[in-house]
Amino acid sequence: MNDAASVIRLRRSLLYVPGDREAMIAKAAQRGADGLILNLEDAVAPGNKELARNTVVHALAALDFGRAEVIVRINPLDTPTGYRDLLTIAPAKPDAILLPKVGSPEEVRFAAWTLARLEEMHDLPAGGIRLMCMIESAAGVLAAVPIAGCHPRVAALLFGAADYSAEIGCAITPEGDTLLHVQSQIVLAGRAAGIDAIDTPHMRLDDPEGLARSSQRARQLGFDGKSAIHPGQIGPINSAFSPTSEQIVWAERVLAALPGGDEAQLGATVLDGQLIEAPHLVRARRTLRVALQVEIATR
């Protein structure tokens, strides 16, 4: 493992927490999720928007969230509620703002410009608050590549299958086949921009087998993590997105196969009958970096 390990931030599991539920927010950091999404949007009734906003601001000031990344999902920025969310939440210094229903890079650039002004006004570190973008519409999917790469603040794309399927009119099947194309597009957009891609939540709470399948499928597609809507989903999701002991052993053996540790001398190295080339080294190094962060997170 090398110094690059320090730049990886685990986002295996991001737990949605209603912003107007003070007790749930207080307990959220103990649930084991890598990130918490304090939700001001869909989970909050219209009459509770101000309560939720004030509750989240108080929580950011008063609670110790430990290692968890604290993300606030605001309402759409083209609404008075969403803009007020951004102006109120940013000074409370969340780790990131999650923009819902993003359909164009212009929306993201506007949010980034506003954050820069708020950081100046409140003497906050420049660029300290990241942006994450919900991709949950046809426009968002088609613009995923420019959205992902439009600003250095953008740290992740999150897929929202519920809104997407409602707009498109497609079913969400247990096999996941109807969403495969759009999931692949989001992963590709994230990879092209060098940012994370997070899969949609598994909406059934009484379906542990389905959760395990969808988490494993998302991992195989290349997602970095998966959103969760209940604390009971965190363990299976974390497990699916953590390197197995077999994968760690394989990665260590791949790096050990480098002659003198020098990639330039790799040549035609064979390990267990398999030709080891540069792409295998990339995968091996990332596996060990993620494994190190998993170890740190579980100490």
What is residue 282's predicted lDDT score, i.e. its pLDDT?
85
> Domain boundary at 193, 219, 240, which?
240
Q: Say if residue 178 is in the same domain as residue 290.
A: no
| Model confidence at 254: pLDDT above 80 | yes
The whole domain housing 147 covers 3-240
- Whether residues 223 and 108 share a domain: the answer is yes
**pLDDT value for 25:** 97
> Do 61 and 74 have their domain in common?
yes
- Are 255 and 218 in a shared domain? no
The Cα–Cα gap between 290 and 270 comes to: 25
Categorize the per-residue pLDDT at 7 as very low, low, confident or very high, splitting at 50, 70 and 90.
low
Number of domains present in the structure of the chain? 2
| pLDDT beyond 50 at 290 | yes
Give 273's pLDDT tier (boundaries 50, 70, 90). confident
Q: Give the residue from 240, 271, 287 where a domain finishes.
A: 240
Do residues 99 and 7 both lie within one domain?
yes
83 and 30 in one domain? yes
Burial class, 228, CB count within 10 angstroms (exposed 0-12 / middle 13-18 / buried 19+): buried
Instruction: Assess whether 132 and 19 both reside in one domain.
Output: yes
Across the chain, mean pLDDT equals 93
For residues 132 and 253, membership in a common domain is answered with: no
Q: pLDDT per residue over 172-227, tens digit each?
A: 999 999 999 999 999 999 999 999 999 999 999 999 999 999 999 999 999 999 99
Q: Give mean pLDDT, residues 13-41.
A: 96
pLDDT value of residue 1? 31
Non-local (6+) Cβ contacts of 210 within 8 A are 174, 202, 204
Residue that finishes a domain, picked among 214, 240, 266: 240
Percent of the residues in the chain that have a pLDDT greater than 70, as a whole number:
94
Say whether both 132 and 259 belong to one domain. no
Same domain, 93 and 12: yes
Asked whether residue 5 carries a pLDDT value surpassing 60, the answer given is: no
Q: What are phi and psi of 8, to 5 degrees?
A: -85, 130
Q: Is the predicted pLDDT of residue 148 greater than 50, yes or no?
A: yes
Mean pLDDT over 75-103 rounds to 97
> Rg for the chain (alpha carbons), in Å?
20
User: Is 91 in contact with 122 (CB distance < 8 Å)?
Assistant: yes
The answer to whether residues 70 and 91 touch, using CB atoms and an 8 Å cutoff, is: no
Looking at the structure, tell me whether residues 88 and 206 fall in a common domain.
yes
pLDDT of residue 267: 62
Using alpha carbons, list the distances in angstroms from residue 170 to 42, 140, 144, 152, 166: 21, 16, 19, 33, 7
pLDDT of residue 260: 56
Mean pLDDT of 71-98: 97
pTM: 0.92
Residue 167 and residue 103 share a domain: yes
Q: What is the CATH number of the domain that holds 111?
A: 3.20.20.60
pLDDT above 80 for 262:
no
Q: Which of 4-13, 89-98, 271-280 has the highest mean pLDDT?
A: 89-98
